[in-house]
Amino acid sequence: MITAIPFESLGGLDIDWLSARHHFSFGHYHDPARMGCGVLRVWNDDTIQPGTGFDPHPHRDMEIITYVREGAITHIDRLGNQGRTEAGDVQVMHAGTGIVHAEYNREPDITRIFQIWIEPDRAGHAPGWETKAFPTRATGAFTVLASGRGGDSGSGALPIHQDAAVLGAKIDAGSSVSHALGAGRRAYLVVSKGSVAVNGVVLGERDGASIHEEEAVVITAEADSEVILVDVP
């Protein structure tokens, strides 16, 4: 089953420095029909104005993956980590037993990110942060960006504490990529750029799709496109 989630249907928040759209219930937005997908609990589509960002705030017991769609994000935390992640690249924060962090757009133009939260396999992991560039991503194939699946240990993906994976693919117009789902697993897909058909279900830019009870999905690009897919138990 594939359920399209149009961008226009998402919950949201608009303030002077941030435009946020929530694929699942988050903050003041609550929809009992949109509480997550398996262990995937948050997928926020954030547009951050230049010279602004999220001031220091705490998290715990969550794997927080940030995919940068446009611009760059600068991370600072009280463990002493600091770094900048550019468009097309990924950072992972293990909130674990507790972390206080800030995320800023220090660029001259807007920054757009997907913020993805996945429940860890257990409480109490050590907190931490990593960022990684993915400069050699091929067009027409999925790249594993972050993963805790056993078979992905040599893929070069950033590690997370869960049997889940975040994958990205660039797809030329008219071309397709596929992804097999194991028994009992689910996926959530968002179109970062372009427009695609997922097993025939058409999605536009920034639309989502909830996927379950499918052995595999075939994503065909109707225009030059980029998609992010999260595979979860």
What does pTM read for this prediction? 0.96
Whole-number average pLDDT of the chain: 96
107, pLDDT greater than 90: yes
What pLDDT, on the 0 to 100 scale, is given for residue 140? 84
3-state secondary structure of 81: coil
In the chain, the number of structural domains is: 1
Asked if residue 121 has pLDDT above 70, the reply is: yes
Q: Which amino acid is at 226?
A: E
Buried b (16+ CB within 10 A) or exposed e, 53-75: bbeeeebebbbbbbbbbbbbbbb
Dihedral angle over CA of 150, 94, 232, 66, nearest 10: -120
Task: Check: CB of residue 25 under 8 Å from CB of residue 40.
Answer: no
- Which CATH number fits the domain that encloses residue 31? 2.60.120.10
Q: Which residue has the tokens 């939260």?
A: 117
Taking only the tens place, the pLDDT of each residue in 174-218 is 999 999 999 999 999 999 999 999 999 999 999 999 999 999 999
Q: Is residue 226 predicted with pLDDT exceeding 70?
A: yes
In whole angstroms, give the CA distance from residue 22 to residue 5: 11
Q: With CA atoms as reference, report the closest residue to 173 among 202, 194, 143.
A: 194
Q: What is the DSSP code (8-state) at residue 138?
A: P
- What pLDDT band is residue 135 in, cutting at 50, 70 and 90? confident
Residue 90, Cα to own-chain centre: how many angstroms? 9
Token code pair at residue 182: 């194991």
User: Phi and psi at residue 59, in whole multiples of 5°?
Assistant: -145, 160
Model confidence pLDDT, tens digit, residues 41-75? 999 999 999 999 999 999 999 999 999 999 999 99
> Residue 106: how many CB atoms within 10 A of its CB?
14
Range of the domain at 214: 2-232
DSSP state of 10: S
Answer yes or no: is pLDDT of 137 > 80.
no
Kindly tell me if the per-residue pLDDT of 136 is higher than 70: no
